[in-house]
A and B are shown apart, each in its own frame.
Chain A
Amino acid sequence: MMIRGAVLPILLLAAWELTSHSGTVDPRILPPLEFVAQTAFDQVVHEGLLRNLAASLLRDIAGFTLGSLLGIAVGTTLGLSRIADRLFMPSFNGLRQIAILAWIPLISIWFGVGEAAKIVFIMAAAFIPVVLNTHEGMRSASTQLIEVARTLTFTRWQLVTRLYLPSALPSIATGVHLALIYAWVASIGSEYFMTIGPGIGGLIIAGRERFQMDLVMLGILILGLVGFLINRGASAIEKRLLRWQQA
């Protein structure tokens, strides 16, 4: 079945290679494959592609960590306290209707266009799914278990740490997984609009401005590849952490 799956990509690449060499299309719009490979090599060796990648990843990790930790704290509070839930959840649900990218202009006025603004934006992107899933997980604790805990006269703290948190864990993991994906896309997005400083998003935008399709393609390839690896890694970790569930 692997062979069938390879047919279309190979045809596509062959058509690309033939068209770009036929001279019918501007090579700036459709550069030959080997040209893209050359650009990739040059970027890695001479132009500091890895530095750009590291800058994007660091931003991603900083925003993701802050956003998901805050999200777990807020989601737990909202999930456990009925008053907090009624007070804040409707407002949170209202605010989250605004497409996340629409916050960028406002964030750039409040926090500038430097590192702080980018991290705030990535944080917001990671925060939302973690709050939603943590909240949901906290509320899905089984009523029977709660009864048992009552009978055992659990203290409030025991109730939270031994009952609510463990039963919310799979849901929290889903939220954190989503946050990882959103944070990576948000990192690139923040670099699109706040172009100061190194980063893969800045690289793609520079490629577009200089009309260098090879650079844009390289950037997109890295963007997709890193996203794929992050997703794979998160799935593997999630599976490992939630092994006890299968038992």
Chain B
Amino acid sequence: MRAAAIPASAWPSVPPAAIALLFPLTLLALWSISAHFGWLPPQILPSPGEVWAALLDLARSGDLARNTGISLLRVVEGFAAGSFLGLLLGIAMGLSPKIEDYVKPLFTAFAQVPTLGWIPFLMLLVGIGEPLKVLVIAKAAFVPVALNTLSGIRAVPPIYAEVGALFRFSRWQLLQKVVLPAAVPPIFTGLRYGLTHAWNALVAVELLASAEGLGYLLVWGRQMFWLDTMMGAMLIIGVVGFLLDRIMATCEARLQRWRLA
């Protein structure tokens, strides 16, 4: 709930969306005017029309769909591998303090180095092919998923386990019917973070070592000094990243519904 702020009752009847659009539209108008009068050379700031035309060009030639598809495939592969391993490790550490004692320090050290740091290391180890991309993205998803799964399982109230014991649940039943369902919301939060990290890692690895994908479109535009192509690629990177997060948020809300009941 929003706390009462300093009184600001101006234009109470204007819908928020209209106000929200005011700033980008003003910016766009300024940008168009500046391009029209040539205040800035097009090598520094192409006109909005040129960016739109570049996007349409990319879409028509099929380059956009192809590169977006390649990027998405990489993210899906890497995210699937990384989050699966993260879930396994998180569940193992969450259920067994012994495993946590053994693995956690090494895991922490591994997680301490940001994904960006691992890229050159992996480039030397596995080259710059497809395995590099999947490994980098998997690492990015693995860490938050493992951490959130661990803390999610730890946060299950001990009372739940006691009720399970009352029903004489076996270990497997306890895990399947009590612990995992109770830990689903935090685990899903971890998956959502994981996907965001995976998308950022994809952009990083495609900027550094790729001949295809949305990140490569950026590098290519940079080399050709095609700012319109670069800005178009940035727009798509933003939109796809946003949509991926929306999908996860929707699933998250659905999974949490039972809690409200």
**Residues of A with Cβ closer than 8 Å to B?**
1, 4-9, 12, 29, 79-83, 86-91, 94-95, 97-106, 108-110, 139-143, 146, 156, 159, 185, 188-189, 192-193, 204-205, 207-208, 211, 213, 216-217, 219-220, 223-224, 227-228
Contacts and interface: CB of A to CB of B under 8 A. Distances in A.
B241 A223 contact: no
Given A8-B106, A143-B4, 5 more contacts: A101-B200, A108-B222, A156-B6, A217-B121, A219-B117
B193 interface: no
Interface stretch (B146-154, B179-187, B230-238, B250-258): B230-238
Contacts of A98: 234-235, 237-238, 241
A108 B43 CA distance: 12
A127 B30 CA distance: 24
Given A5-B101, A108-B222, A192 B44 contact: no
Interface of B: 2-6, 8, 10-11, 16, 19-20, 22-24, 27, 43-44, 98, 101-106, 109, 112-114, 116-118, 120-121, 123-125, 199-200, 203-204, 207-208, 215, 218-219, 221-222, 225, 227, 230-231, 233-235, 237-239, 241-242, 245
Nearest to A159: B6
B112 A228 contact: yes
7 contacts: A81-B6, A99-B200, A109-B230, A211-B124, A220-B121, A224-B117, A228-B112
Nearest to B104: A5
Contacts of A108: 222
Contacts, number: 156
A99 B198 CA distance: 11
A89 B2 CA distance: 15
Contacts of B103: 8
Nearest to A160: B6
Contact of B237 (A82, A87, A102, A189): A102
Contacts of B121: 213, 216-217, 220
Given A208-B123, A216-B124, A185 B225 contact: no
Contacts of B114: 185, 188, 223, 227
Contact of B203 (A102, A106, A142, A204): A102
A120 to B, nearest CB: 15
Contacts of B118: 220
Contacts of A208: 120, 123-124
A141 B114 CA distance: 35
B241 A80 contact: no
Contact of B23 (A4, A88, A217): A88
A103 B113 CA distance: 22
A246 B203 CA distance: 42
